[in-house]
């Protein structure tokens, strides 16, 4: 509870002038970043923003509502293929295809949320795991829709007459969308909806006694989480220019889950920190790619042993230690 109180105090500090100055400096750095860095680093930064969206959505479901999901790659895949198919085969404009990707994933999230309302613990985890596997197998075998193992080429997005073909243009698009959805998530968790999510996480029974409709808020948590994943999937498809089912396996779901565990469950900054670290790590360890699952597992175990609140929890502890340091 003490660390939770410190986290709330950190959120309150955002209203101060120094914090706003820091935010303006960070915004300037984000705007200028593509102008002074190699194209590969711009690509990695864009991928960080996409992973941040996935982590934010998953944290709304798992960190705030307490509903563990190991099938989130399925929602990412639904969003990616929805946008890809609509644009490549139906000629739907990018803005509409992007919204369709989010709402289609949210629809499947809602459908998944309904039958698992009464499930908790390992049973809920197994149900979401089965969903992710079902989506992967469906995309693999339904070749007429997804292209199967041959894959699907995704056209570059266009905003009006401007086709975004460069890494910098895709970077600005993704950063802008990620920033908007991060702001929405930040305000959402501070609203009555966020408080209802936390009440469900702490105790289903107590939340229901207090008047929280479990059916409404649990399905809402699944739908919101899937919406974020669907938007991220669409942006990922445009960034890579190609989709195929092996991009959305169980390993990817575990990879996404590790982001929020490492960054900090139940925190918006933790989602961002975890996404950044887990995006950079495969690039640093590219020569040990076959050992990445072992590395991810080891990091999760280490974080849970040393700092259950993740990187953001450790950052708060360090700041408070510096404030109380006698020197």
Question: pLDDT tens digits for the chain (327 residues)?
Answer: 455 555 555 555 544 445 556 667 777 777 788 888 888 999 999 999 999 999 999 999 999 998 988 999 999 999 999 999 999 888 899 999 999 999 999 999 999 988 887 787 788 889 999 999 999 999 998 888 888 888 888 888 888 778 787 888 899 999 999 999 999 999 999 999 999 999 999 888 888 888 888 889 999 999 999 999 999 999 999 999 999 999 999 889 989 999 999 998 889 999 999 999 999 988 887 777 777 778 777 877 888 788 778 888 888 877 777 665 544
Q: Which helix H or strand E contains 163, and what residues bound it?
A: strand 162-163
CA dist., res. 116 & res. 93, Å (int): 35
CA dist., res. 238 & res. 156, Å (int): 6
Burial of 110 (0-12, 13-18, 19+ CB in 10 A): middle
Q: Taking a C-beta distance cutoff of 8 angstroms, is the pair 70, 248 a contact?
A: no
CA dist., res. 281 & res. 87, Å (int): 32
Q: What is the per-residue pLDDT for 327?
A: 40
Distance from CA of residue 18 to its chain's centroid?
Answer: 28
Q: Taking a C-beta distance cutoff of 8 angstroms, is the pair 252, 73 a contact?
A: yes
Q: Taking a C-beta distance cutoff of 8 angstroms, is the pair 85, 151 a contact?
A: no
Task: Determine if the pTM surpasses 0.75.
Answer: yes
Q: What is the per-residue pLDDT for 22?
A: 63
CA dist., res. 205 & res. 217, Å (int): 14
């Amino acid at each position: 509870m003490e660390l939770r109180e410190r986290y709330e105090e950190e959120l309150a500090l955002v209203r101060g002038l120094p914090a706003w100055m820091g935010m303006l400096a960070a915004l300037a750095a984000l705007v200028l970043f593509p102008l002074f860095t190699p194209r590969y680093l711009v690509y990695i930064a864009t991928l960080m923003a996409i992973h941040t969206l996935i982590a934010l959505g998953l944290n709304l479901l798992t960190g705030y509502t307490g509903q563990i999901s190991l099938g989130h790659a399925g929602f990412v895949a639904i969003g990616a293929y929805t946008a890809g198919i609509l644009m490549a085969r139906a000629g739907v404009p990018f803005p509409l295809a992007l919204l369709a990707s989010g709402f289609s994933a949210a629809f499947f999230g809602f459908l998944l949320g309904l039958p698992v309302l009464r499930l908790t613990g390992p049973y809920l985890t197994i149900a979401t795991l089965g969903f992710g596997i079902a989506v992967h197998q469906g995309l693999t075998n339904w070749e007429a829709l997804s292209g199967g193992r041959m894959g699907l080429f995704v056209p570059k997005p266009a905003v009006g007459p401007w086709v975004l073909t460069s890494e910098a243009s895709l970077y600005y698009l993704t950063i802008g969308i990620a920033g908007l959805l991060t702001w929405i998530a930040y305000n959402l968790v501070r609203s009555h909806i966020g408080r209802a999510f936390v009440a469900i996480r702490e105790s289903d029974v107590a939340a229901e006694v207090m008047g929280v409709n479990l059916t409404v808020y649990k399905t809402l948590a699944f739908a919101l989480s899937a919406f974020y994943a669907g938007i991220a999937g669409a942006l990922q498809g445009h960034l890579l220019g190609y989709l195929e089912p092996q991009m959305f396996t169980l390993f990817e779901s575990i990879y996404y889950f590790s982001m929020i565990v490492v960054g900090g469950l139940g925190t918006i900054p933790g989602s961002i920190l975890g996404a950044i670290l887990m995006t950079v790590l495969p690039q640093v360890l590219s020569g040990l790619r076959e050992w990445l699952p072992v590395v991810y597992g080891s990091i999760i175990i280490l974080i849970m042993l040393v700092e259950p609140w993740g990187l953001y929890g450790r950052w708060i502890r360090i700041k408070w230690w510096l404030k109380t340091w006698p020197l």
